[in-house]
Amino acid sequence: MTEAASGRAGEPLAHDRAEARRVRVRRFLARLRALAATAASIPMTLLGLVLVTFLIGRVMPVDPVLAIVGDRAPQEVVERMRIELGLDRPLYEQFLRYLADLLRGDLGRSVATTRLVTEDIVRFLPATFELATAAIILAALIGVPLGVVAAVRQGSWLDQGVRIFCLAGHSLPVFVLGLASLLVFYVWLGIAPGPGRQGIFFQEAVPLRTGILTIDAALAGDGPALRDALHHLAQPAGVLAAFSLAYIARMTRAFMLAELQSEYVTAARAKGLSEMRIIWQHAFRNTAVPLVTVITLTYAGLLEGAVLTETIFSWPGLGQYLTVSLLNADMNAVLGATLVVGLIYVGFNLLADALYRLLDPRTR
């Protein structure tokens, strides 16, 4: 009797373990399907990006042949160059040739610099990465606490001030803020350095290892060069961070307001938990998942959207390279830089999706 009873008691346990295994298998298969869907979308996204980039280069009112040989070149020279570039071929043949060159890592040669476009991008991209990274760090360190405080003090003068700041940050164009910053801090007050990435006395003083000047100066142990690099970085990074700071603060405030109105927060207050613990250990923790996604995509936007800031502050990054190339009708450089910017944004979108799946247990 005892053995039969123990056998019947063990049957539910075995059933529960089997059901738990089936649940884990279903979750694992769901993850595999999601991963396969994401992996399948990557080639199509990249192909679409390449196609759009190629078509942009063909519809722009700029003749790449004249950009190479000049406006006064004889007609036979123009035609010969057009044949060499394959521009006399049908559009689909031009696209297939462009796609084959991309698969070999060949973005063409820049007319302005006479270097390979890939070499130019490797040279100019670290400066944009340095500027965007400094800007997103400033935006996150200031914007997240501002949003949390505004949500906690909803309706107060502090909340109203943060909302006005966010509205101004979204409304004020970057070039207006950049020019105003130069006028006030460089021209009037004289406390900020002029445009550029380095002072004249530090030009080529630091051996470039990574291309990120602050890191290279720190690796070289050159304190004055590091201070000069940080001094020149502060103003453009602050201007670039202003828009992102406003957006991050606004989104943080919205996420926190939604969490502070949740039932679990009311239950935590009824249990007598301290307000700081409720805010930071409970409410803020639940906003981390969407907030990480917001910051990641904002960072991608900074990497691709620093054109105006780099132009105003003469920052030798990818944005300035793209602007100069466009003004010089250097189509190989324009298309190459545009493609790299698109790849960066696609990559960060995939990263944001992966982080969301990793941090949110509901997607597991």
pLDDT digits (tens, 9 = 90+) for 223-270: 999 999 999 999 999 999 988 999 999 999 999 999 998 888 889 988
Contact 330, 110 (CB under 8 A): yes
**Phi/psi-derived region of residue 352, left when phi > 0, alpha when psi is between -120 and 50, beta in every other case:** alpha
Share of the chain above pLDDT 90, in %: 34
CA distance 315 to 196: 5
Would you state the pLDDT for residue 15? 63
Closest C-alpha to 256, from 163, 141, 137, 144: 144
Would you state the pLDDT for residue 181? 92
- In terms of CATH architecture, what is 123-363? Orthogonal Bundle (1.10)
Would you state the pLDDT for residue 47? 84
Low-confidence ranges of the chain (pLDDT < 70): 1-16, 31, 34-35, 38-39, 304-305, 360-364
Contact 356, 292 (CB under 8 A): yes
Would you state the pLDDT for residue 236? 94
Would you state the pLDDT for residue 295? 93
Cα 242 to the center of its chain, rounded Å: 15
Would you state the pLDDT for residue 1? 47
Q: Which residue's entry shows tokens 């996420």?
A: 255
Would you state the pLDDT for residue 364? 56
Would you state the pLDDT for residue 230? 94
Ordered by start, the domain boundaries in the chain are 41-106, 123-363
Structure tokens that stand for 261 in this block: 């109105």
